[in-house]
Amino acid sequence: MPPPFPDTSGPDKPFRFLNISLFLPRRRWDSLIEAYLEEFKKTENVELYLKVNFPFWHPIPGKPRQDLYNLIDSLRKKTGSEARIAIDEELGTRTDIVRLIDSCNVYISTDTAATAPISEARVRRRMVVIPEGSGLGEVGVHIAVDPNAKMPLTQEMLLYQPNHKGGYMPLLDVRDVRNAMRKAYDMPPDERQAKDTGITHLMGPSDCLPIIINAIHSAWDHKKASARETKATNAGKRIAWEGTQLVSHSLALINRELCLQLIDSGYELSIIPGKEVDNISPDSDPRFNKIVERTRKPLSGSTDVHVRHHWPPNFDPPPQGHWVIIQPWEYGRIPQSWVEPMSTLVDEIWVPSTHVRKTFIASGIPADRVQLVPNGVNSSQFHPSAQQLRISSEKKFKFLFVGAAIWRKGIDILLDAYRQTFDSHDDVVLIIKDLPAGVFYQDAGAGKIILEIKRDPKAPEIAHMQTVLKTEELPGLYTACDCLVHPYRAEGFALPVLEAMACGIPVVTTAWGSTDDFCSPDYSYLIPATRVEFKPSDIELADGGGWVLQPDLNALCRLMREVFENHRAARDRALKLSEDVRAQYDWKNIAEKVKAHIHQLARKPVLRERKL
């Protein structure tokens, strides 16, 4: 590298503040740009030069760039300043970076953490302006920092910094940034030069390597100690978990994901499988070997908690431990036959949605017995970048329905709306990912109606899938499609809606039901519905009978047409929520709720033993 160029400015060369950075909220470019525009006017021979690149992981392509330019425009309007700002988006080489640093008079950073360009600027004998507490010792000018001034990251910020959920961002006072910039600008060149050359030693690779190695060892030791502490806390908890695991339906999915989380957290688990025959190979996912190892494995002592999750529910009490039943229900009131055992024998009922919790309480189950434990998603699989599954259709726009094609899930309403809204000339297909024949809903599906529509040459295209997808294929089904439609009458949770949202595709679903926990009108397309009385012929429901929702057919037609015609806006709307869904509903976070309930139960007597 050539020796550093001298710090110069003049009529033909403006005084240059330089910042090189990835555009992220924690860089505090809002404070930097506002301070610069407040402090300097167009008449002064000065510029703020921003060399920027943008986070490739942001779920909305092009939005970070647009955010930056919108920020500058809004701050120009706020300050009334036309002071020069240069934006450099070229990637450049390392030599280009060196030349760029040499071209500046002052390198400025409003990031409260030290960054590599700061050290590079110091090596090139450029004075730096940085926040206090950056850990770099004596520098040219410090920006004052109040350590107590911070704000939580917003949902918008988390799209940039998804791993910082629950974190805070330090705040800088624009006045402090202005003062530091003015001080550097007004400093005589010889004084600035003295500060440039006053650096006696900058650490090189040989200095940094031992520090890095020690930091890695310390972090690893801390992680191991924390894991030991967690496992020691959980090791005394012996859990019997009763329910199907390696079968391709949602009950088994919930069982195995929660069991895997408990196993990884150090709990002793004995898995009691259901009667269904497994159709998922343990070899399909290395994690599943943990399930196999603990299937029918005796516990080392008496059971602390016995969790039961299968259909239909079994009310024969387990031999030992607190008894938990995981039980969704859809119809407004639970079966009357459930009320007595759930009220007198079961320690806790874990339900997946607020809607179901209200249903159990309204049916006579004590409120403190009914706990909300939502379903979740594997965020490493369900995300907008999941590899798309190949769909055998030439149609461009793909609506998707996932689940049993039955009355409760609104398949008849969907088929009516689809036929009323589209015809064979529209570039659209409805993909119905049905359950395989014989799983839970034997002879209850809409297969005959679907076949009739497919035979109609004027009808829009339908693809009816009843094949079993591999675990890793399902996310690709969502990302291969453009919109999930789920106009249910009654649902306990509606896991496909959550999975679609995690994958960043728009959802059209019923309002005022179980999905209200995670679907808002800001990001989802909600179908107005009316509550109608429902009394099944084969089950007596508590409190005189239940109810279902009846989605508005005309509204569904309108919403499907809206998403079809405004797909880009619908997609942007869905992507905004994807990251938050994956963070909030990842199985690790759901398992934390399970663990909390297990530990709370340990402090209570077993309910059925109190009754003796």
Place of tokens 């706990």: 371
312 cis-preceded (ω within 30 degrees of 0): yes
CATH 3.40.50.2000 residue ranges for the chain: 15-202, 397-585
Max Cα separation, the chain? 94
**Are 408 and 502 spatial neighbours (Cβ–Cβ below 8 Å)?**
no
Spatial neighbors of 61 by CB under 8 A, at least 6 apart, are: none
Which CATH superfamily does the domain covering 397-585 fall into? Answer: Glycogen Phosphorylase B; (3.40.50.2000)
What CATH code would you report for 15-202? 3.40.50.2000
Q: Is 20 helix (H, G, I), strand (E, B) or coil?
A: strand
What global pTM score does this model have?
A: 0.65
Q: Please, what sign has the CA dihedral across residues 182, 187, 188, 189?
A: negative
Q: Count, in order, helices (H) and strands (E) of the chain.
A: 20, 22
Rg (CA), the chain: 30
Measured between alpha carbons, how far is residue 400 from residues 477, 516, 559 in Å?
9, 20, 14
Q: Output the six-digit token pair for 218.
A: 């310390």
Query: What would the pLDDT profile of 101-152 be if each residue is shown by its tens digit?
Result: 999 999 999 998 888 899 888 888 888 999 987 766 667 899 998 888 888 8
Q: Is 369 helix (H, G, I), strand (E, B) or coil?
A: helix
- DSSP letter (8 states) at residue 5: P
Spatial neighbors of 89 by CB under 8 A, at least 6 apart, are: 52, 53, 65
Q: Please, what sign has the CA dihedral across residues 472, 477, 483, 484?
A: negative
What CATH code would you report for 236-376+591-610? 3.40.50
Which pLDDT belongs to residue 200?
47
Backbone angles phi, psi at 45, to 5 degrees: -85, 75
Backbone angles phi, psi at 310, to 5 degrees: -160, 170
576: part of which helix (H) or strand (E)?
helix 567-584
Judged by average pLDDT, the poorest of 40-49, 66-75, 227-236, 330-339 is: 227-236
Q: Output the six-digit token pair for 317.
A: 């009490």
Mean pLDDT of 231-242: 76
**Are 593 and 453 spatial neighbours (Cβ–Cβ below 8 Å)?**
no
- DSSP letter (8 states) at residue 243: S
Mean pLDDT of 79-94: 89
Query: How many whole angstroms separate alpha carbon 140 and alpha carbon 186?
Result: 13
Q: Is 489 helix (H, G, I), strand (E, B) or coil?
A: coil
Query: What would the pLDDT profile of 66-84 be if each residue is shown by its tens digit?
Result: 999 999 999 999 999 999 9
Res. 8 pLDDT band, cuts 50 70 90: low
**Are 486 and 410 spatial neighbours (Cβ–Cβ below 8 Å)?**
yes
**Are 529 and 325 spatial neighbours (Cβ–Cβ below 8 Å)?**
no
Query: How many whole angstroms separate alpha carbon 55 and alpha carbon 27?
Result: 13
Spatial neighbors of 72 by CB under 8 A, at least 6 apart, are: 33, 85, 87
End-to-end alpha carbon distance in the chain = 85
Which pLDDT belongs to residue 611?
56
Query: What would the pLDDT profile of 458-496 be if each residue is shown by its tens digit?
Result: 999 999 998 888 888 999 999 999 999 999 999 999 999
**Are 491 and 527 spatial neighbours (Cβ–Cβ below 8 Å)?**
no
**Are 605 and 276 spatial neighbours (Cβ–Cβ below 8 Å)?**
no
Query: What would the pLDDT profile of 239-258 be if each residue is shown by its tens digit?
Result: 999 999 999 899 999 999 99
